[in-house]
A and B are shown apart, each in its own frame.
Chain A
Amino acid sequence: MKPKALIIRTAGTNCDKETEFAFQAAGVKTCLHHINYIKEKPDFSDYQILCIPGGFSYGDDLGAGKILSLEFICWFKESLQRFVDRGGLILGICNGFQVLTKTGILPDADFRQKVTLTDNDSGRFEDRWVYLKVESQSVWLKDMDERICLPVAHGEGKFYAEKDILDRIEGNHQVVLRYTDKDLNLAGYPFNPNGSLNNIAGITDSTGRVLGLMPHPERFIFKHHCPFYKYKEVFPFGVKFFSNAADYFK
């Protein structure tokens, strides 16, 4: 079966088209809709995958992803809960990750915010390529190399949580992507581009079906996306995220 993904955009979403392209290239059917269209009939039962792409929803005016997450809670709480319970996949990239944490879909899908993504330690927006250690074999990350590289581009990407929460999600192996240097060592800035606690770049829920990450897999689906593709053989690691989603429903 060809799964169907709903990509939700709103004012300020800006990675929707290339995210849709990446899903389609991997063999996923897509519907890209404005949130106001979905609000008319908030029902996700036609879809197997939900995706919240990157951007600056509502300008990130009250904090990254804040207003969109409020809309999710006000309009979609029940349908989202049903979607998660039914075993659907959710992907939140960058601003989408911020929305998933602020909505409380990550880490526990209980609509209570426990973790956050806050201002980068450098105090500014940065676009740079990072190495990531893949620490899970869950749905989205199945059969991936242990080390991958992807670009990040954000101003509010520092993963932060109180110690008890942090210990719990670490203990549950919900931390699935970590910033490292090129030898997979945990390292400081700029390898960890934002000062994330425990070098966290991405987390899942306890099932692994809901993934939120700051790096942009949809920006590395062609070799030429990589800043050193002319110097060595590179594999466009971003492709795997989307093909894993497609394969999951085969």
Chain B
Amino acid sequence: MIWRIDVFAKKKASSSKIASDIGDLGNFKVAGVYTRKVYLLEADLDSEKMNQIASRLLIDPVTQEYSLSEGIFKVPPSDTQILITYNAGVCDPVGLSLEKAVSDLSFEIKSARTASFFELNGLSKEDISYIAPRILYNPLIEHILEYEKAGKLTTLDEFSGKDYKFDLATVDLLEADSFKLKEISKLGCLSLSLEEMTIIQDYFRKLKRSPTDCELETIATLWSEHCAHKTFRGVIEYSEKNSEGEIIKKETINSLLKSTLMRATKELAHSGCVSVFEDNSGVVAFDENNNICFKVETHNHPSSLEPYGGASTGIGGVIRDILGTGCAAKPFASIDVFCFSPWKIAHENVPQGLLHPKRIMKGVIKGVRDYGNRMGIPTICGAVLFDERFLGNPLVYCGTLGILPKNKSFKESQPGDLVILCGAKTGRDGIHGATFSSKELDEHTVGLTTAVQVGNPIEEKKLTEAILRARDKDLFSSITDCGAGGISSAITELAQAHGVKVDLEKVPLKYRGLNYTEIWISESQERMVFFSRPENLTELEKIFREEEVPLTVVGRVTDTHKLELSYQGSKVCDLDMDFIFNLPKLEKKAVWICKKQKDSKIKPKESYNEDLKNLLASPNIAPKDWILREYDHEVQAGSVTKSIYGINRIALSDSAVSRPDLNSQKCVVVGFGINPFYSDIDPYWMAALAIDEALRNVICAGAGLEKTFVLDNFSWASPQDELVLGGLVRASKACYDFSTYFGVPFISGKDSLYNEYDVSGKHIAIPGTLLISAMSVMDDYRKVTSNIFKCVDNLVYIIGSTKPQMAASEYFRQLKITSGILPEVDRNRAKDTFSNLSRVIAKGLVESCHDCSEGGLAVSIAEMCIGADLGVNIFLGEVPGPEGMLDYEVLFSESASRFIVEVKKENQKEFEACLKGLEFGLIGCVCGEKKLVIYSQTNKQVIDTTIAELRGSWMKTFDEFR
């Protein structure tokens, strides 16, 4: 029978958060919102035992009470009450923990689930049915328990599926014409093109048999954009046209990846690269004992549909990438970067089928927070950008860094190895995730509900501990994570060189009813696969039992070069590895049309006080301390520079610095570059500037280019559009050019394409967005510098040249000016600037250093003042740059490769001597009065404001979230 236990606070209080969210939705007169946690337990226990469970387990006796009743509903809920639970098959982590805890009390129950009860007083039934799916639950993963149905339930089995009876399915492919082939791909959600379907057809014609559904799914998964990166590895016919439409350049690119990003790394042949573009993350040298690795992933599509689940499984996935690097690295820090639509849009202006951007933002942040914090991996830094075009396709970048012993940096496997699956059980979660993320979203996508899932961080935490213990005892020789495609891609890729046999019925299942193909392609979270010699099994089982992590032998590595799957003794898949991994190269067309940039000037003003304050208040510039504080950014005790620091703890650093090993003086610096707005004018310079920005951010901390590595993450619209693909080619070319120029190799990357949305006849594509993440190794954490002013009377310098480059700048975009000249990275000077600055910082001549990015030098200096609560006087006439610039250009231009540097007077001579040959200017000094005063090129005060006022503007934008 089912028992229901409601837990509520002794002191009844209305939830002001939910009430205020309801207020955001419209004019509802809510008189009070009351919530309760509800536990549903199926058990053959009497009420006395249930009371014991409730009182000992489910309540905090100091603050909470409970009520116990039989059945899900004793009485029908009133019109203002609703009870929400997860859909069948969605992970319910609390339910699982409850099952474990009850067994500690030596009681037996069949199953446990959780639900949430809401009472929304003062609202009508209609109001509630409008509000609930917008605020209280997401129909993709949850539903309302209705009295009519749920009231009669006597078992929770409804939630766990029906038995499955084996029935081998084959797909009639051999005789299919092209129309039929396309239909097979579409109906099966395979996302395979006609060309690919034809190649598959030929393969099976040679074998003289039809494929099983499982074989077709396997090929679709391993050939998906998500797993195989078809666009980046395919053939691109690229042409460049001038603004008159004449072709000025033609080129056939055979693998964009190999001819740009990987080529740069190959040519640089950097001695610090250990394993790059090969494993689940990029591995570089750290110290005599350890290497470090870094991976950044996107989880855009799932986050657009279910922000909390999408973001949490995003961070969970990239953590497993680190665990699956070499023979398992230990994750020591995470990062995240988001692009959202501005959150102040009216609900009625959000197209049908999309979530409100505020809900997306809150859900994504909460997802990263809950997963990262529970994993005990500090989320050390991040960035958030806003643009309307992210309305249907928010971007969620999650990255993790790991540390691994040098002798555990590579994988080995041999025939006879056991194939071991460990971690969570397998359910129907995320089926078709890989193929799903390889297509554009539309209103119908919402029907593909199984692609959305929720993570369970504690499962992954246990998994991490068990794997690292087994690693340290040399109990396995290769490992990988189950990401897109689940065990299908994990096992197949790991066994690629030899061949493998897998018994699918051995895979432990969360619930009944999964067929063999579902088991094979399920993307259930928190699972890993590793290969081990049979003699290690006993010891492995001991460790995993203690850590309470399921571990199952599901197959064996063979020497047949075949992928052989069976289910209950019948063969369900028999494919040649060579065929699976010999992907057809797709041909695509790409065109880039060169646009002429037109300079534009606006009328100069007497005072730029207001303009500066408006810039500081821009959502792209204003501080996101409120997000960072929700992340445990200090766990593992490695933080050297935190994202939030300073006396008043409102300074935000350019980069974060961590010590992955407390026994070593060495530290790791992480910084980002991202600016999708430049993409609208030229993705080439967008990419170059992103690299420049990421490098500036690590240089500011004191890192040097010679131990700096970069990662690329492209989020782009559909590559089927030749202009869109043209932009992607341009950006990749810039990556090659500037990676080789700066001497910083790419070590890992990922692309997320098809970020477009078609809704009610409207087509929204995101701007081409490249996130560059830079990671540097520094030898001594005590040499790390920070980015806010230190002391009165110190001198303030600018390094680098300021030019009238206002296009797509934060200033021009605020004024809605779309013309102007785009910044460029100066290939004659930038590298020298960076190298010299690193040298003077290493010599200890620099007190603080901050780069100029969004908002130009004025914003940069303002940030250095606000963080330190110190004032400065600045003279624009001393800023190096071309003649005849207007004051606003000097103040707000976003010219590349520039830094503001604070230097002690006694170090002036030595500092300047070190920078000989570079463009720099002594532009002012730190002063006792807490004011920012900037004099124009003709020595008039163009900015004169107190630091308190600046701080006010800077802080107010996100006050509603603090």
Contacts and interface: CB of A to CB of B under 8 A. Distances in A.
Contacts of B458: 11-12, 56, 58-59, 61
A125 interface: yes
A34 B543 CA distance: 10
Interface string B238-257: 00000000000000000000
B60 A225 contact: no
B104 interface: yes
B381 to A, nearest CB: 13
A230 B63 CA distance: 43
B186 interface: no
B660 to A, nearest CB: 12
B635 A115 contact: no
A102 B546 contact: no
Interface string A212-237: 00001011011011011011100000
A58 B100 contact: yes
A56 B373 contact: yes
A153 B630 CA distance: 9
Nearest to B463: A11
Contact of A66 (B57, B633, B642): B57
Interface residues on A, range: 35 or more
Contacts of B662: 18, 21, 222
Given A14-B461, A59-B93, A74 B105 contact: yes
Interface stretch (A116-124, A169-177, A203-211, A242-250): A116-124
A113 interface: yes
A67 B105 contact: no
A54 to B, nearest CB: 8
Nearest to B663: A21
Nearest to A238: B637
Nearest to B58: A62
Nearest to A12: B458
A108 to B, nearest CB: 14
Interface string B627-659: 011111111110110101111010000000000
A62 B462 contact: no
A186 interface: no
Interface string B707-720: 00000000000000
B62 interface: yes
A219 B58 contact: no
Given A12-B458, A34-B547, A70 B104 contact: yes
A59 B376 contact: no
Given A125-B369, A227-B646, A219 B634 contact: yes
B375 interface: yes
A161 interface: yes
Interface string B321-357: 0000000000000000000000000000000000000
* Majority-rule SS of A interface residues: mixed
Interface string A12-40: 11110110011000000000001011000
Given A61-B94, A227-B646, A102 B60 contact: yes
Interface in B658-713: 662
B97 A61 contact: yes
Nearest to A19: B637
B646 A21 contact: no
A15 B635 contact: yes
Contacts of B93: 59, 61
Interface in B749-808: 781-782, 784, 786, 790
A21 B635 CA distance: 13
Interface string B52-73: 0000111111110000000000
Contact of A227 (B58, B636, B649, B782): B649
Contacts of B412: none
A227 B644 contact: yes
Contacts of A218: 637
Contacts of B631: 127
A113 B59 CA distance: 12
Contact of A125 (B56, B632, B644, B649): B632
Nearest to B63: A118
A114 interface: yes
A36 B466 CA distance: 13
A153 B635 contact: yes
A116 B60 contact: yes
A47 interface: no
B104 A127 contact: no
B649 A129 contact: yes
Given A37-B546, A228-B646, A221 B637 contact: yes
Contact of A225 (B100, B634, B784): B634
B386 to A, nearest CB: 22
A205 B545 CA distance: 35
A42 interface: no
A236 B921 CA distance: 39
A242 to B, nearest CB: 13
A230 B846 CA distance: 13
A126 B630 CA distance: 5
Given A21-B662, A62-B101, A153 B94 contact: no
Interface string A66-77: 110011001000
Given A61-B98, A62-B101, A231-B646, A15 B376 contact: yes
A116 B64 CA distance: 11
B309 interface: no
A160 interface: yes
B62 A161 contact: yes
Contacts of B790: 230-231
A231 to B, nearest CB: 5
Contact of A160 (B62, B101, B633, B647): B62
Nearest to A152: B634
B457 interface: yes
A59 B632 contact: no
A61 B458 CA distance: 10
Contact of A11 (B461, B634, B784): B461
B374 A12 contact: yes
A151 interface: yes
A225 B637 contact: yes
A36 B546 contact: yes
B457 A59 contact: yes
A70 B630 CA distance: 28
B86 to A, nearest CB: 14
A155 B207 CA distance: 60
A17 B646 contact: no
Contacts of B632: 125, 127, 153
A11 B101 contact: no
A217 to B, nearest CB: 10
B548 interface: yes
A162 interface: yes
B639 A70 contact: no
A114 B649 contact: no
Contacts of A55: 376
Given A34-B547, A61-B93, A231-B790, A115 B101 contact: no
B17 interface: yes
Contacts of B633: 127
Contacts of B546: 34, 36-37
9 contacts: A21-B662, A34-B547, A116-B60, A118-B62, A153-B373, A161-B62, A218-B637, A219-B637, A227-B644
Across the A-B interface, give the 3 residue pairs with the lowest CB-CB distance, nearest first. A14-B376, A61-B97, A18-B637
Given A59-B93, A70-B57, 14 more contacts: A14-B461, A15-B376, A15-B635, A17-B636, A55-B376, A58-B97, A59-B97, A61-B97, A62-B97, A66-B101, A70-B104, A74-B104, A114-B62, A129-B649
Interface of B: 17, 56-63, 93-94, 97-98, 100-101, 104-105, 369, 373-376, 456-458, 461-462, 465, 545-548, 628-637, 639-640, 642, 644-647, 649, 662, 781-782, 784, 786, 790
